[in-house]
Amino acid sequence: MWFPHCATVDAMTRKATMDVPDLHGKLAVVTGGSDGVGLGLATRLAAAGAELILPVRNPDKGRRAVEQIRATVPDAQLSIRALDLASLQSVADLAGELLAEGRPINLLINNAGVMNPPRRQTTIDGFELQWGTNHLGHFALTGRLMPLLMAGSARVTTQSSISARGNAINWDDLNFEKSYSAMKAYSQSKIANLMFGLELDRRSQTAGWGITSNVSHPGVTATNLLAAQPHMGRNKDTANVRVIRTLARIGVGPQTVDQGLLPALYAATHPDAEGGKFYGPSGFQQLRGEPAEQEVYRPARSVADAARLWSVSEQLVGLQYAQR
């Protein structure tokens, strides 16, 4: 494991308690790093000395994120790159750029996501938006970066969600063309994230890729993804706003970003975090709390289903990982 020791980062950036290893000399890639949990993770990694690559869809948000990180970590080493996970060509372009640079990647956090658009939308390649972005986009990105991940003996942490415990993979209608439910489509993408992260570790162990892969989820965290989705023409709250209000009524408010990022930070950096494990908040119903290992949700436990998802995903994105 490439993490040498745990060293407490500066108290100014350690707003929620967890020591982070010394990451000087390490290269980290964090998707979705322009706001919310991703921005918080990027800030913590920068404070620990990592050099950061932040692939972003919106360059203006990316530049603002860089300013925010440097306001906290003035000597942060970071760059923004263009990436739209809803476009397989954009994924290929970013991977090609990084492969041409040839620098080993030590840490990849697959964090970006889209949640609950109120009407069915598709990616540039025709996939249901959440399925195509949250799962297939990250599956393709990780696959194309494999030479750099292997060279860096990387740890790969993929962000799932407590929504993953709700539904199974809809094998007969992966793109929800027959009947669309935004929440079911989101849940499917998060189940796929969980299955992918665990299967990546199994395949790495079998094939000797030298990659450690695990999965995390943030519980219920007050981010733009959860609470500030556009109504997109509807004059009513999104389902997620209603969830927040319901939780508030029973006295269970969402975590802050600084709290919600801890499971991913632990999974991605802590020396005790293991490959093939699932980490989330340890409190009531995993809604909030300190990071801890969690039981894999039932829909994601089947190794056969994980292998099937892997094969289907390779076919859909037109990319084959190294043989198992």
Annotated active-site positions, please?
186
Q: Using N-to-C axis directions, what is the helix angle for 262-269 and 36-47, rounded to 10°?
A: 40
**Residues forming beta bridges with residue 272, ordered by sequence position:** none
**Measured CA angle at 113 (ends 110, 114), to 5 deg:** 170
Q: What are the C-alpha distances in Å from 134 to residues 23, 85, 130, 179, 248?
A: 27, 8, 5, 20, 28
Q: How many CA atoms lie within 13 A of 299 on its CB side?
A: 23
Structure letter (DSSP) for residue 51 = E
DSSP string across 143-169: HHTHHHHHHTT-EEEEE--GGGGS---
Retrieve residue 281's tokens: 């908040």
In angstroms, the CA 107 to CA 301 distance is: 25
Place of tokens 């970590």: 73
